[in-house]
Structure formats: structure tokens, C-alpha cells
Amino acid sequence: MEETVGLTGLQLSILQVLWDAGEATTQAVRDGLDGDRSLALTTVATLLTRLEKKGVVAHRRQGRQYVYRAAVSRAAVRRSKVKELTESLFGGDPAALMTHLVRADEVDAGELARIRALIDRAESEGR
């Protein structure tokens, strides 16, 4: 998943169910979604088909049912979503994104220390 793949919140929720379960039928995916969503089974099936066309979900047949699995890792989706965010809100400038995050009031001293350690590690590894 080198390119960004636009995923909605619901599509991300479906992937979360698949990552947690490993594999799941359409019914199991529907059951695994947040309880506040009352989606028809056909809606979930349509969403899974769309995700498969995007290349982020794959299926196998088990009798008369399809059993789905995520075809991408969480890390790949995170990279894709951060890339989308960086491009759309920060003009493709990762430093601008990091500046925003570090200057945000929600970042406490402990988190800043972790960020500093990650940067130090990346520098020592020659990135």
C-alpha cells in the first residue's frame, strides 16, 4: 500500500474487525462493528466488496459463504492515512505536521520525551 487509499471511518472499522479476528464472514464483520451501527447485512457485503476492489481486503470461499481477511497491515493503513493527512492539511510537509503535533496543547512532557527519543533513534539509524 505505497499509495494512499481513501478509506472512510466505517471502512476503517471493518478493517479493525478483520485485523482483530484474522478472518470473518460478512455476518461476523457486521456483528463485530460498533453496536450503535445497525447496518444491513447487504450493506456490509457491499462495503467488503468495495474494500476488495481497493485491494485492502481479500476473501476465500467456505461452502456458500465468503470469509474475508485484511490484505493490508495496520501499519500500512496508518502510513497511508498519515500521508493523506500530511498532503491535505500540511501541503505534503511532514515537518509542518510534526510542528503542529509538538506545539499542540495536548502533548505533555512525557510524550515529548518519547518523540525526542524516536527522532534520536531515527537519526542514529541514518534516516
28 and 80 assigned to the same domain = no
Q: Interior CA angle at 21 toward 24 and 51, to 5°? A: 55
Check pLDDT > 70 for residue 4.
no
Q: Domain check: are 51 and 91 in the same one?
A: no
Interior angle at CA 110, CA 104 and CA 114, nearest 5: 90
| 57 and 86 together in one domain | no
> Percentage of the chain with pLDDT > 90?
61
Looking at residue 100, its pLDDT comes to 87
Q: What is the pLDDT of residue 31?
A: 92
Which pLDDT band, with edges at 50, 70 and 90, does 15 fall under?
Answer: very high
Whether 51 and 11 have beta carbons less than 8 Å apart is answered as: yes
pTM of the model: 0.78
Predicted confidence (pLDDT) per residue in 50-72, tens digit: 999 999 999 999 999 999 999 99
Domain span at residue 110? 74-124
Q: Which amino acid is at 56?
A: V
